Amino acid sequence: MTHSHILLTGGTGFFGKALLRHWIDMERKGQAPTRVTLLSRDPDRFAAQHPALVEHRWLQLVRGDVCDAASLPQGQAFTHVLHAATDSTTGPQLTPQQRFDQIVDGTRHMLDLAVACGASRFLLTSSGGVYGAQPPDMEQIPEHCHTLPDPLNPAQAYSIGKRMAEHLCALTMQTHGLPIVVARCFAFVGPDLPLDVHFAIGNFIRDALQADSITVQGDGSPLRSYMDQRDLAQWLLALLTRGHAGQAYNVGSDHAVSIRELAHTVRDLLAPHKQVHVRGVPNPAAARNRYIPSIAKARQELGLDITIGLEDAIRFTAQAHLRRSGNP
């Protein structure tokens, strides 16, 4: 990607920060990153909050909103478009209709821009939510699974919106020949994960660092898996450059852990003197809630793998938050 120019949307969110940190690490190792244009609704605010992330010769911040086509950069020849603008952190603050429109309209506008500027590759960050509820007897959900979320349930606006965005990518590829790749992303952990929203692993790390005990709000039985944000950045760039056009790839870890086990792992690593409180009562008759991807396709086709284990990722995340709070 020596002469490439990437347009990155969602650059101020979790995915974008993970990518920026990856490029900064590349620069430290003497491997000059590609030219990157980061789209933000408020670039001045982001620069003020994260000066270390933006003060690099290869990075340009521009003001724009994917939901407003007129605000998008015009007249630039982007070679790659990485569309990651749907933030799952702030999404719950929107109505289902607003969430759906943000995903679908934003993707349509970015696809139109990619076609107009002659981009050679387009990566959409989608979600494992497009599969709907994982069948309880399926240990890992593969890309060829065609289950889906309930389209008549407004609460599924995020997942249905992502499914529609994927279909828009397929239509654009058919009509205009734009090579598109879809990253179906699952769950992640890292220094840029907020600790005060709806992510269980972030809440547990926060409790371990700040609270008297670690609290599990449910019964702790759901199964999840977590990819470190450093692996996430590597995988997204591999899909952007080497993923097979017209294909979707699961992005995440295939190492399953129950929420209860996760809470105890965080406790053992960060605050072994604290107790874990599980508020819910398990229901043996209920189907096990699972959200675990199969990543065999990415392994076999692209040679990708998990390089950072869950325990290392938890330590790395906690250390980063302690440094920011002035308690290294």
Q: What is the pLDDT of residues 262-316, one digit of tens each?
A: 999 999 999 999 999 999 887 766 667 999 999 999 999 999 999 999 999 999 9
> What is the CB neighbour count within 10 angstroms for residue 68?
12
What is the structure's pLDDT at 87?
A: 59
CA distances from 3 to 39, 79, 114 (A): 20, 9, 17
What is the four-CA torsion angle of 86, 185, 259, 154, rounded to 10 degrees? 50
pTM, full prediction: 0.95
What is the structure's pLDDT at 91?
A: 55
For the record, the structure tokens of 120 come out as 């050679």
What is the structure's pLDDT at 33?
A: 82
Find all residues with CB under 8 Å of 108, minimum gap 6, and list them: 168
What is the structure's pLDDT at 326?
A: 73
CA distances from 150 to 29, 58, 132, 233, 326 (A): 47, 43, 7, 31, 46
**pLDDT band at 34, cuts 50/70/90?**
confident
CA distance 91 to 183: 19
Query: What is the amino acid identity at position 20?
Result: L
pLDDT greater at residue 104 or residue 30: 104
pLDDT in tens, 101-147: 999 999 999 999 999 999 999 999 999 999 999 998 899 999 999 99
Q: Are 80 and 5 in contact (CB under 8 A)?
A: yes
In the chain the domains, ranked by start, together with CATH numbers, are: 5-190+225-252+292-307 (3.40.50.720)
